[in-house]
Amino acid sequence: MESAAINIQQSGESKLNTTDYEGFTSSQGQLLVGEQKYIIRILKMNGSTMVFLSSAEPECLDEIALAMKMPQDQVVGTFILGPQIITDSQRMAEKLCKRFGRHFIVSYNVNVDRMTAPLLEKQLSEYIRAHEDQFV
């Protein structure tokens, strides 16, 4: 069974397209920080969620990280693809895993400076809050 819907946030700056396939929900949206556009793609699966965030042009896949909930409210994270250091993808995966209590696979493929990073994180947080059902 397939269903599709398009929702537009009140600001008109963030769009969400959703498709549902038996246990998997795929959605995508757009974040706008200043003049820069970012694409967010979400694949919600049974027990886990994959989040892909990239600049709108060109989209790329530089790194992927995974975070899992452990006993006693601990979260463990690791990289799957990319540099062998703690990356933005791993930090975001751990943060989302801790917040929602499920496995997160995150690919955070944006190059931002110290001024833009907090703005992008704020936009992403607002997006998640507005579309929480797409993440859990």
Residue 112 burial (CB < 10 Å; 0-12/13-18/19+)?
middle
Put the strands of the sheet holding 24-33 in their side by side order. Answer: 2-8, 15-21, 24-33, 36-45, 48-55, 103-109, 64-70, 74-81
CA atoms of 112 and 85, how far apart (whole Å)? 18
Which is more confidently placed, 104 or 17? 104
Domains held by the chain: number:
1
Spell out the long-range contacts of 25-31 with Cβ–Cβ below 8 A and sequence spacing 24 or more: 25/134, 27/131, 27/134, 29/127, 29/131, 30/56, 31/120, 31/123, 31/124, 31/127
pLDDT of 128 above 80: yes
Confidence of residue 14 (pLDDT cuts 50, 70, 90): very low
- Read off the CATH number of the domain in which 116 is found: 3.30.230.100
Q: How much is the pTM?
A: 0.79
Tell me the residue range of the domain where 74 lies.
2-134
Measure the CA–CA gap between 102 and 136, rounded to whole angstroms.
8
Of 37-41, 104-108, 132-136, the range with the lowest mean pLDDT is 132-136
| Contact (Cβ atoms closer than 8 angstroms) between residue 126 and residue 29 | no
